[in-house]
Structure 1
Amino acid sequence: FLGVVQTEGGQVEGKSHRMGLFRTVDVFKGIPFADVPGKWEKPKPHPGWSGILKAIKYRDRCLQVTLLQTKTQGSEDCLYLNIFVPQGRKLSSNLPVMVYLFGGAFLLGASNDVAILGDSLYDGKEMAERGNVIIVTVNYRVGTLGFLSSGDARLPGNYGLWDQHAAISWVRRNIEAFGGNPDNITIFGQSAGAASVSFQMLSPYSKGLFRRAISQCGVALSPWALQNNPMALTKKVARRVGCWRTNIDLMITCLKMSDPVGLTMAGKIDVLLILGKGVVMDLLEFSPVVDGDFIPDEPSKLFHNAAQFDYLAGVNSMDGHFFAGVDVPNINQKNATTVRGLLAGLTKEKGNAAIDSAYSTYTSHWGSAPEQAVVKKTVADIETDFLFLVPTQIALQLHANNSSGAHTYSYLFNMKTRIPGFPHWVEAEHAEDLQYVFGKPFATPLVYFPRHRDLSGYMIAYWTNFAKTGDPSKGDSRVPVPWPAFTKYHHPYLTINHKITKSSVRYYTTTVLCYVLLLDAAVNYYYHFILCTS
């Protein structure tokens, strides 16, 4: 057991958890990595403490709306992280470190988000112990307080990204005292956390800060990951809290004096106004902005900054299904579903030719009288491609094109859903990969089958091998098949489920990606051309 550890802020003491014969994990919960942040200010160093900080309970999440959007939870005093250190017969040293950034649409979430059963969803004990790596989970500001921006220097935005950066920097400076290797840090995240990982890679502030990165279901190029009209959103929030002024300076002054809880509630999603009217894209408003500083330019133009990092990225086969249920509410009911309306909503900036082209591509396998299940699955596929798959493939291509010796890997997670009540055609829902990466089938075995433990073992092995060596196939953990690298001219991906064999290594058909790119308003012609001709 590590006992008392000296950090830059003072001494901390965690708690040891037995994991098996001669194996324990030391857990430190609620270590501050920055001071209580000022409203819409960058994080500041923590002043430190005297005595020994008992790091045995999770701290509050950052102030945010609840899942049902009816009230707020959390605190402004929220910049804390948690550390999970595996121990064998002798004290661990020089271990690879994996820093996790949670998802939640940049609107909600926490480093200790709830699991349905057992400990926190992001509890790092199983992954740390089975992969022999240190896991760190961190909080960052979300919603109005994390991402409101005026689009200029008055309210530059990206406060949540600065929090993440401060946390990763703290880990680099302090993790050696916990037995970690500060020169071998991997950042990983899911959904908005995956896009955050991507933004951290692209930022000039990350040079030399970490070595590798994993994006699970989201990248900076995802159409929901960047707010292109931040001032319109700021004016909307101002109206809701009684700060609307024609003079922008007066409006921002008023916002800065407003109650944080009211500001947070002003950022909630009006789900009822949207259902069946428009697309889910219009719901996800709080996200990073091009601020000329942390994100100095359009993300697609910043991949030279990511050339040094090994990168592993992929999506879940039905990432878009939940979002399709918002855009096309009858997708999970018996009623008939149509595709053209969804394509029109997603391609509204592209015109009718794009709709026709995309429609013919997506319906080419239907035949003359397609079953409703086929039509409904096509709707989910379109949404998955638009929100997740295509942006991720472009990010992988740009990473491989710009790489200076760093590795690139691509995957598709398609384990059948465990969520009861969904139609038979539904595969891996958004966020269903997390339970396996964090070892839930081992932590709560009664609610899983052996196949789920197989899958969890594979994912922990690939993810932690990648953190150790930059190659998911190489490391201490045995994997079922070698995972070939994605390169400039060679685009394999690994299909991840409970039966991984040699045939799990596959290739996307470029024609489908070509047509799908017509949907993607965020990517310019040049990158469209690369994918269509590669």
Structure 2
Amino acid sequence: MWVRSGPRRLVGVAVAAVFLSAGAVASAVPGGVRPGGGAVEERVTVRTDAGLVRGVRSARHRIFQGIPYAGAPKGAYRWAAPRPVRPWQGVRDAARPGPLCPQVPSQYAQVSSEEEDCLVLNVTAPAVVRHRPAPVLVWIHGDGTVGAGSFFDARRLAGRGVVVVTVNYRLGIFGGFAHPGLRGSGTFGLQDQQAALRWVRRNAAAFGGDATRVTVAGSSFGASAIAGHLTSPGARGLFHRAVLASGEGMMDMPAGAMGPDVPGYPWFVWRTAREAEEIGAEMTSSLGCAAPDPARTLRCLRALPVKNILRIPYIMNAFQIFAYGNETLPRLPARSLREGRFHRVPVLSGGTRDEHRTFVGLLYDAVGKRFTEEDYGRALTKAFGSRAGAVRAQYPLTQFPSPAIAWAAVVTDRMWARGTHAQHAALSRRVPTYAYEFADRNAPLYLPLPGRFDFGAYHAGDTPYLFEEPEAGKRFTAAQRWLSDTMTDQWAAFARTGTPNGPRLPVWRPYRGAGGRPYTQSLAPDRIGPVDYAREHALDFWRRFP
């Protein structure tokens, strides 16, 4: 086979959301991505619409890094729509990564930056420009508070004949800040990503890419952004296929799911303009810029040094959201997807089998706190109230190696699988949709996660199977390397044709949400083939819950 928000809530989300990076830091190397390929490197120059850039070419790849796609969002342009790049004279060196957007070190990512002139992207392309232009895949990294496009080594995908573009965008408060009267509140990161897609439309041909075959792809927070782009008027025509890995676009959040002090919320990433402004007001007060006049407050905030903003604990994680009810996202994206109000492009979408083990492991085992049977009972009661007993009967502790694994299974099914299923059902009614579940429960860990927790097929564990990741790659078994090669072939086929099928590849049927049994492809080292996703995640049981 083949929010309502509040300081305690924001702290809880900040602690729980530490793994939304989807591999954002694991591939970071001081010198950036090197072409490799077993041949002497040489310099190669390409003309973009803003000027010449000089990258590096080897026998198999051409790599260009740190190319600006928008002007510096600093000073009066902090919290403003991205503006055009000022053309440069001469040849711009593109052999090294550009600066990271402002971010602070975290438990899993010891990287930091205070540089706002960071709206750059990277291009990894096949060494030879063919007569027929190659498909383009634009990668949006996850987390929303840490990371950079240059941390993702795309040589594996480029080796399949795909031009890959990885993007920096404004993170945390710099991308998601909302303020009364501020145009674009809560969507500046999304606007950056659309500016990068417009750059691709103008410049793909210069790198051998086909601007009429652009796939936008992302994981976790990056996939949620793509759910937004699918419904955003500004993204119309900027991409022709979409890949959403472990996205939260139609996912809600039961109370306590992301930490014992974190209340529930109807949507995981979406906030109304008012809710986003309330979060902004809390942070504004913390920064000493609160004033009766919103314009005066904004001037104060724009004058602050970056380091002063980053000193506030959890300020970046507080804006791990997207606001709607504005020009970028006029309506709640989850509702637009459900009603069929989205751009008609083929979609490849899925998640991992054990999504929530990551968060349970980090919240408890990683900090030396044991999750006990009593904790399990309290968590069930907090999340499900009077129905806690029914959930416990469905997920008895006798079926799991530990209470922590049991709780992770509950939330994986209730929050992640139910949201993923709803997303697939909504999309497949209108567009070709290919659903998957990454099921390698022995996937190598590639982030420095403490403790000895069994993370299983963890959140974003599929990322190193598509991008070169040294820590994971050196621990791949032969079967895992086969899975990586197969997944990369299928993602490349999807970018090329809009379907993950092709010669010598496992058959992957479309997901059919209306009528018949919906098809989901299980991806594991020992088996690629159909899985009864609804049965595996007890979705019939969870349909009885509001």
SS at match of 1:306: coil
Does residue 225 in structure 1 map to residue 269 in structure 2? yes
Which residue identity is paired with 1:157?
A: G
Answer yes or no: is the 8 Å Cα contact 1:96–1:133 preserved in 2: yes
Which residue identity is paired with 2:105?
A: T
SS at match of 1:49: coil
Aligned to 2:433: 408
Once the two structures are aligned, what percentage of the paired residues are identical? 25
Aligned to 1:428: 457
1:265-291 deviation line (CA, Å, top 9, x unaligned):
336269xxxxxxxxxxxx664311014
Does residue 339 in structure 1 map to residue 344 in structure 2? no
Which residue identity is paired with 1:418?
A: P
Does residue 478 in structure 1 map to residue 504 in structure 2? yes
Answer yes or no: is the 8 Å Cα contact 2:71–2:86 preserved in 1: yes
Answer yes or no: is the 8 Å Cα contact 1:157–1:291 preserved in 2: no
Aligned to 1:127: 157
Aligned to 1:119: none
SS at match of 2:242: strand
Residue 340 of structure 1, CA deviation: 3.5
Aligned to 1:140: 169
CA pair 241-267 structure 1, distance change in 2 beyond 3 A: same
Does residue 364 in structure 1 map to residue 394 in structure 2? yes
Within the candidate set 87, 92, 98, 1:53 is matched to 92
Aligned to 1:491: 518
Which residue identity is paired with 2:301?
A: L
Residue 4 of structure 1, CA deviation: 2.2
Answer yes or no: is the 8 Å Cα contact 2:156–2:466 preserved in 1: no
CA pair 53-380 structure 1, distance change in 2 beyond 3 A: same
Structure 2 Cα separation of the partners of residues 109 and 517 of structure 1: 36
Aligned to 2:148: 110
1:282-325 deviation line (CA, Å, top 9, x unaligned):
x6643110142111011123233434111111111222112223
Aligned to 2:68: 32
Aligned to 2:204: 175
Structure 1 Cα separation of the partners of residues 66 and 453 of structure 2: 42
Does residue 455 in structure 1 map to residue 492 in structure 2? no
CA pair 180-71 structure 1, distance change in 2 beyond 3 A: closer
Answer yes or no: is the 8 Å Cα contact 1:27–1:84 preserved in 2: yes
1:169-226 deviation line (CA, Å, top 9, x unaligned):
1001110111111000001011111111111111111211111001111132233322
Residue 483 of structure 1, CA deviation: 3.6
Which residue identity is paired with 1:224?
A: F
Residue 236 of structure 1, CA deviation: 1.9
1:416-441 deviation line (CA, Å, top 9, x unaligned):
24239866854111221111011447
CA pair 213-39 structure 1, distance change in 2 beyond 3 A: same
**Could you state the TM-score of these two structures normalised by the residue count of structure 1?**
0.81
Residue 41 of structure 1, CA deviation: 0.5
CA pair 152-497 structure 1, distance change in 2 beyond 3 A: farther
SS at match of 1:373: coil
1:472-498 deviation line (CA, Å, top 9, x unaligned):
113xx6323434433433411111111
Answer yes or no: is the 8 Å Cα contact 1:461–1:478 preserved in 2: no
Aligned to 2:18: none
Structure 1 Cα separation of the partners of residues 537 and 484 of structure 2: 33
CA pair 204-5 structure 1, distance change in 2 beyond 3 A: same
Aligned to 2:227: 198
Structure 2 Cα separation of the partners of residues 318 and 152 of structure 1: 42
CA pair 264-29 structure 1, distance change in 2 beyond 3 A: same
Aligned residues: 476
Answer yes or no: is the 8 Å Cα contact 1:150–1:234 preserved in 2: yes
Structure 1 Cα separation of the partners of residues 180 and 380 of structure 2: 30
Aligned to 1:15: 56
SS at match of 1:186: strand
CA pair 240-52 structure 1, distance change in 2 beyond 3 A: same
Aligned to 2:24: none
Aligned to 1:531: none
SS at match of 2:153: coil
Answer yes or no: is the 8 Å Cα contact 1:219–1:225 preserved in 2: yes
Aligned to 1:265: 311
Aligned to 2:350: 314
Structure 2 Cα separation of the partners of residues 226 and 93 of structure 1: 40
Aligned to 2:238: 209
Residue 247 of structure 1, CA deviation: 5.0
Structure 2 Cα separation of the partners of residues 399 and 459 of structure 1: 22
Answer yes or no: is the 8 Å Cα contact 1:315–1:413 preserved in 2: yes
Answer yes or no: is the 8 Å Cα contact 1:95–1:179 preserved in 2: yes
CA pair 264-421 structure 1, distance change in 2 beyond 3 A: closer
Aligned to 2:19: none
Q: For structure 2, which runs of at least 5 residues remain unmatched after alignment?
A: 1-41, 252-266
Aligned to 1:286: 320
Q: CA RMSD in A?
A: 3.0
1:112-148 deviation line (CA, Å, top 9, x unaligned):
23xxxxxxxx11111110x211111010000111111
Structure 1 Cα separation of the partners of residues 213 and 288 of structure 2: 48
Residue 365 of structure 1, CA deviation: 5.0
Structure 1 Cα separation of the partners of residues 175 and 537 of structure 2: 39
Residue 462 of structure 1, CA deviation: 1.4
Answer yes or no: is the 8 Å Cα contact 1:331–1:376 preserved in 2: no
SS at match of 1:266: coil
Answer yes or no: is the 8 Å Cα contact 1:324–1:383 preserved in 2: no
